[in-house]
């Protein structure tokens, strides 16, 4: 895990981390984060918060990804029909038995081969080989 340096910044690391966390965790606007920090007594501009999110956001995300535990060895390929923008779409998800979504693909047409290709790519990229694989479909025509 790479150590993030907050040297040469006016504010302490805890304030910077809190601002970046607020922005990404709750999808707030920069002005909203600025207001929330001002309410706590920290006067910082939204432009400074934007610079922090650009500089520290990817580093924090990379550290979190590195710290994340590998998926469990039981995987499940799931299909769902949903509406996105008023259009009917097919959502395929690769999920481990703890409910962690490993990968997903959204398609306009139902394409099982593309979903299985997603699973094969996932097999190559994950550090754990699954012990058990299963597929289910939430599509009414597939039942």
Domain identity same for 78 and 123: yes
Domain identity same for 62 and 83: no
End-to-end CA distance of the chain: 46
Domain identity same for 84 and 136: yes
In a domain? residue 6: no
Task: Write out the two tokens for 113.
Answer: 């081969």
Range of the domain at 124: 74-142
Contacts of 139 (CB under 8 A, 6+ apart): 79, 80, 81, 90, 110
pLDDT > 60? residue 139: no
Cα dihedral value 76, 81, 83, 88, nearest 10: 130
**Which of 72, 120, 118 shows the shortest CA–CA distance to 91?**
118
Which carries the bigger pLDDT value, residue 88 or residue 122? 88
Alpha helices in the chain (DSSP H): 13-25, 30-39, 46-67, 112-125
In a domain? residue 4: no
In a domain? residue 112: yes
Q: How many separate domains does the chain show?
A: 2
Average predicted confidence (pLDDT) for the chain:
84
Domain identity same for 138 and 94: yes
Domain identity same for 84 and 62: no
Domain identity same for 87 and 129: yes
Q: Determine the Cα–Cα distance for residues 3 and 60; give it in Å rounded to an integer.
A: 10
**Which of 78, 90, 72 shows the shortest CA–CA distance to 126?**
72
Which carries the bigger pLDDT value, residue 8 or residue 123? 8
pLDDT digits (tens, 9 = 90+) for 93-136: 888 888 888 778 888 888 878 777 877 887 777 777 766 655 56
Domain identity same for 40 and 84: no
In a domain? residue 2: no
Say if residues 119 and 133 touch (Cβ distance below 8 Å).
Answer: yes
């Amino acid at each position: 895990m790479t150590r993030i340096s907050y040297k040469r910044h006016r504010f302490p690391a805890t304030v910077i981390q809190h601002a970046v966390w607020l922005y990404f965790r709750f999808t707030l606007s920069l002005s909203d984060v600025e207001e929330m920090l001002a309410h706590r007594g920290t006067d910082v501009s939204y432009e400074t918060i934007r610079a922090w999110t650009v500089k520290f956001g990817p580093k924090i995300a990379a550290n979190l990804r590195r710290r994340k535990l590998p998926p469990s060895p039981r995987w499940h390929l799931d299909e769902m029909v949903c509406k996105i923008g008023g259009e009917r779409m097919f959502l395929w998800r690769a999920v481990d038995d703890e409910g962690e979504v490993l990968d997903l693909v959204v398609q306009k047409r139902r394409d099982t081969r593309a979903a299985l290709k997603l699973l094969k790519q996932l097999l190559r990229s994950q550090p754990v080989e699954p012990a058990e694989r299963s597929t289910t479909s939430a599509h009414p025509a597939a039942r």
